[in-house]
Amino acid sequence: MELNEIYEVEKKFDAEIEAVAALAELETIRVKYLGKKGYITDIMSKFREVPADQKKEFGQKVNALKNKIENKIEETKLALEQKAIEAEINSTEMFDYSLPVDTETGSLNPRTIIQKQVVDIFKNMGFVVEDGNEVETDYNNFESVNVPKSHPARDTQDTFWLSNGQLLKTQTSAAQNRILRTYGPVCKVIFPGRVFRNEQLDARHENTFFQLEGVVVGKNITVANLIYFEKAMLKALFKKDIEVRLRPGFFPFTEPSYEMDAKCPFCGGRGCQTCGGSGWIELCPCGMIHPNVLKMAGIDPDEYNGFAFGLGFDRLVMIRTNLDDIRHLNSNNLKVMSQFKTKM
């Protein structure tokens, strides 16, 4: 094997690479020179035939040629790809985006509109807005809000468990411990988010829906403070005073616990389709934060107390729009959704 054979291969490659006009041709050349049966492999197989005093120079020359071929092929590939992009751009018909078009504008999902309205209302009342995680730990979703592993309340929430022991959060309360630890014993925070439950789907139940959780913690907080904030929110949302009532309820993370109902803003309590003829709309689970929840968040319940409340955006949307099937909110059915864009 003589060194001039390396030069001959290099000369041949230089001529062929310059003539390449397409990626398919380039691949053929790559295989021809660098493939298992290519020129470089063939040259290297003859290394043992090279005289001992030429082996070092021979090896250096072959490696240099191999590197040159690899680099030139990659450089040519990039150039051909760029040329193809430019050709496609040049062949594309020009379009003036400033021209008016005769098309109907889109709209936000009514749930998104309601969420923004409610969040803005609470921000105006001095609340901080926080996010929660959609994938949570068992501790945050259950134990930190006073629902230990043996608690029967777990049976009411059909949970999507993950293979790593975590879960898709079943309630926005899953963020409560983290938020109380972050903001300390004096705070006003809301945290909207998407929650998941393994529900059987029907007109009133979805496996993916949206809630808003809120907490107020400080000294000498009372149920009267809870009622004030809820009434202020409803007044701002419905543009008029809304009468509310509290019914006894049970939630592991509050004590005492309540169900807050709002007198139907559409019929004034006389009874209508929206309220099911009762005159009242079940709206907001709430209550005074359980001392155990405060303790687990590092807050002394003997010195501080507070309240927590929850809102379902999907329920508010259905109330505001008279939508009769919650499944529409996740359906992306434009025919259904577009009819609400002027009503929100």
Q: Where are the domains of the chain?
A: 3-91, 110-340
Q: Is the pLDDT of residue 342 over 60?
A: no
Q: Is the pLDDT of residue 274 over 80?
A: no
pTM: 0.64
- Looking at residues 151-158, what average pLDDT do you find? 73
pLDDT at residue 76, rounded to an integer: 92
- Looking at residues 241-263, what average pLDDT do you find? 90
Average pLDDT, the chain: 86
Q: Is the pLDDT of residue 335 over 90?
A: no
Helices (H) and strands (E) in the chain, counts: 11, 9
Q: Lowest mean pLDDT of 1-10, 27-36, 279-288, name the range.
A: 1-10
110-340 — its CATH code?
3.30.930.10
Give the whole-angstrom CA distance, residue 41 versus residue 2.
15
Q: Are 29 and 73 in contact (CB under 8 A)?
A: yes
Give strand ranges (E) for 290-335. 305-312
Closest CA to 290 of 148, 157, 191: 148
- Looking at residues 236-245, what average pLDDT do you find? 85
CB neighbour class for 122 (10 Å; exposed up to 12, middle 13-18, buried from 19): buried
Give the whole-angstrom CA distance, residue 279 versus residue 266.
9
pLDDT at residue 89, rounded to an integer: 80
Token pair belonging to 157: 């929430």
- Looking at residues 109-123, what average pLDDT do you find? 88
Strands 305-312 vs 187-196: parallel, antiparallel or unpaired: unpaired
- Output the CA angle 246-248-249, nearest 5 degrees: 110
- Output the CA angle 228-118-284, nearest 5 degrees: 55
Q: What is the pLDDT of residues 67-108, one digit of tens each?
A: 999 999 999 999 998 988 888 888 877 777 787 766 666 677
pLDDT tier, 319 (very low <50, low <70, confident <90, very high otherwise): confident
